[in-house]
């Protein structure tokens, strides 16, 4: 004896025949619940047939690949955008690091300043001064000092002459002489006082008088390039 479900399935599949088919159709005509059950079976079976012969797997393969390609592309674009932002920043950072490094290495901390070319006073003295600049910047300190001596003799109050004069000894690593001359300038109130203090500290450190050097470096406020150099040297010494 077939169950109701078996009859419905056989009916849908066209396997009910003869009296069995007639009996089922008569039952359908009078039984609303059976009709509803049959309709639901048909609907579900139709959905199953539709879905199982659909090509969905092939579609999903293409969707998956397209999604992957799109995400990869988006990711690349984000990376490129990021690179566009980061590369200049990194480049600038590298430049800054290089500049900082070049300004902060031990050798630059002890390096002499460039003697600036400028007319100081009068045409005759200006010519001499320019000669001193050339000698000084070419590290011909003795020649530079000779000229600066002449300039100091003609203008004994000019601190700029005295400053570079002291630095000629510094350039020759004649620390004691440079200390002697720089002390006076460092103690004064001229515009060269801070620079003189710095080079005086360096000279003391070269003479292994670190305590004096540290005290001098601590006087230099770190609000400019000279201050940063002083700080760096201070840290190195401490």
Q: Is 27 in the site for another protein (CB under 8 A)?
A: no
Q: Is 82 in the site for another protein (CB under 8 A)?
A: no
Q: Is 118 in the site for another protein (CB under 8 A)?
A: no
Q: Retrieve residue 86's tokens.
A: 């980061």
Q: Is 65 in the site for another protein (CB under 8 A)?
A: yes
Question: Using CA of residue 36, residue 39, residue 45, residue 51, what is the dihedral sign?
Answer: negative
Nearer to another protein, 22 or 47 (CB): 47
Q: Is 48 in the site for another protein (CB under 8 A)?
A: yes
**What is the size of the binding site for another protein (CB under 8 A)?**
36
- The binding track of 168-207 with respect to another protein, each residue x by CB under 8 A or -, is ----------------------------------------
Q: Which residues bind another protein (CB under 8 A)?
A: 3, 5-6, 8-10, 15, 37, 40-41, 44-45, 47-56, 58-60, 62-67, 69-71, 73-74
């Amino acid at each position: 004896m077939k169950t109701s479900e078996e009859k419905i399935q056989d009916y849908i599949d066209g396997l009910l025949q003869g009296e069995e088919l007639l009996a089922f159709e008569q039952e359908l005509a009078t039984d609303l619940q059976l009709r509803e059950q049959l309709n639901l079976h048909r609907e579900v079976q139709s959905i199953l047939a539709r879905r199982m012969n659909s090509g969905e797997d092939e579609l999903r393969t293409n969707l998956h690949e397209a999604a992957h390609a799109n995400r990869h592309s988006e990711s690349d674009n984000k990376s490129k955008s990021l690179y566009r932002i980061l590369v200049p920043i990194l480049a600038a950072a590298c430049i800054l690091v290089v500049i900082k490094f070049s300004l902060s290495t031990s050798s630059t901390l002890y390096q002499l300043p460039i003697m600036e070319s400028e007319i100081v006073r009068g045409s005759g003295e200006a010519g001499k001064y320019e000669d001193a600049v050339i000698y000084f910047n070419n590290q011909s300190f003795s020649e530079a000092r000779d000229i600066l001596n002449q300039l100091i003799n003609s203008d004994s109050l000019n601190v700029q002459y005295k400053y570079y004069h002291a630095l000629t000894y510094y350039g020759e690593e004649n620390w004691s002489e440079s200390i002697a001359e720089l002390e006076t300038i460092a103690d004064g109130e001229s515009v060269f006082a801070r620079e003189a203090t710095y080079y005086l500290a360096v000279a003391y450190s070269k003479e292994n008088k670190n305590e004096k050097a540290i005290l001098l470096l601590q006087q230099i406020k770190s609000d400019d390039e000279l201050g940063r150099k002083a700080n760096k040297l201070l840290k190195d010494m401490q």
